[in-house]
């Protein structure tokens, strides 16, 4: 059942939907379904087929790769800049990862068959989705490099900044255990890294709520990976 839209939520908050010409947007708008995305909700599991895609407005979805032993690591995040469910229109029958809501909010859901049909029409949606896919591939590759070569402190800075780019506020509700699962590191490592950032006056962490106090300070401390990803999204989606 479609959720009642809060005053602050509308389809145009999603950058992909907002970038569509009015005629193409109107064709999709009647079929968009507003759905709440509570924290921790699983949108799909590894090996499953995709029946719908999601255009987040103020929620963030984490794409996780899950190992056979249950261990997981985040490979990308999707927020109001993009779409969750690329396999629905890129020819994949199933997905190799898991999609979990990292930050609660709303998204507009659309049947995968509708997106695939629009993609195959060859109109304005196709190049937009292809450019977004390229940007997401850059994020996935840079995440792998970051997790291999950079400290947990720098990984946490990158993760916080990528999240802030997709949120209207400077607060994130997230436990250290969940952050550890996202980064694929031990919880003790996240506790130590968060302590360093808090001691430096960059964040305040209390009862599962992280408040960023000094964004320029985080940007000065983060590794190059954040800038690479941000610039690529800006380059590919600017038009």
Confidence check: pLDDT of 126 > 80: yes
Answer for the pair 105, 55: CB distance below 8 angstroms, yes or no.
no
Residue 201 within a domain:
yes
In this prediction, residue 1 has a pLDDT band, given cuts at 50, 70 and 90, of: very low
Q: How far is CA 194 from CA 14, 76, 143, 202, in A?
A: 30, 21, 19, 9
Residue 236 within a domain:
no
What's the mean pLDDT when you consider all of the chain?
A: 88
Residue 140 within a domain:
no
* Tokens coding 123: 């109109």
**The domain containing residue 192 runs over which residues?**
151-222
Residue 3 within a domain:
no
Q: Are residues 16 and 115 in the same domain?
A: yes
Q: Are residues 120 and 15 in the same domain?
A: yes
**Strand 52-56's sheet: what is its strand order?**
33-37, 105-111, 52-56
Q: Are residues 119 and 162 in the same domain?
A: no
Q: How far is CA 171 from CA 53, 93, 109, in A?
A: 26, 36, 25
Q: Are residues 16 and 103 in the same domain?
A: yes
> Could you give the CA distance from residue 215 to residue 103 in angstroms, rounded to a whole number?
19
Q: Are residues 122 and 20 in the same domain?
A: yes
Q: Which residue has the higher pLDDT, 189 or 222?
A: 222
Q: What is the pTM (predicted TM-score) of this model?
A: 0.90
């Amino acid at each position: 059942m479609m959720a009642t839209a809060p005053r602050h939520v509308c389809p145009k908050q999603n950058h992909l939907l907002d970038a569509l010409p009015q005629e193409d947007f109107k064709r999709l708008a009647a079929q968009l379904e507003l759905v709440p995305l509570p924290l921790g909700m699983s949108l799909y599991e590894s090996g499953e087929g995709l029946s719908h895609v999601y255009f987040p407005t103020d929620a963030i979805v984490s794409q996780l790769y899950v190992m056979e032993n249950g261990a997981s690591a985040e490979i990308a995040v999707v927020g109001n800049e993009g779409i969750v469910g690329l396999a629905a229109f890129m020819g994949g029958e199933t997905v190799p990862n898991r999609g979990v809501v990292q930050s609660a909010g709303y998204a507009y859901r659309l049947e995968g068959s509708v997106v695939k049909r629009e993609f195959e029409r060859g109109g304005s949606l196709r190049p937009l989705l292809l450019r977004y896919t390229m940007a997401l591939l850059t994020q996935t590759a840079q995440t792998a490099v970051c997790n291999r070569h950079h400290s947990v402190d720098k990984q946490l800075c990158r993760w916080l900044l990528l999240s802030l780019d997709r949120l209207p506020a400077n607060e994130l509700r997230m436990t250290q255990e969940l952050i550890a699962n996202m980064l694929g590191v031990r919880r003790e490592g996240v506790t130590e890294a968060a302590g360093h950032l808090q001691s430096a006056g960059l964040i305040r962490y209390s009862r599962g709520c992280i408040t960023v106090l000094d964004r320029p300070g985080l940007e000065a401390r983060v590794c190059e990976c954040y800038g690479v990803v941000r610039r690529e999204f800006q380059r590919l989606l600017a038009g």
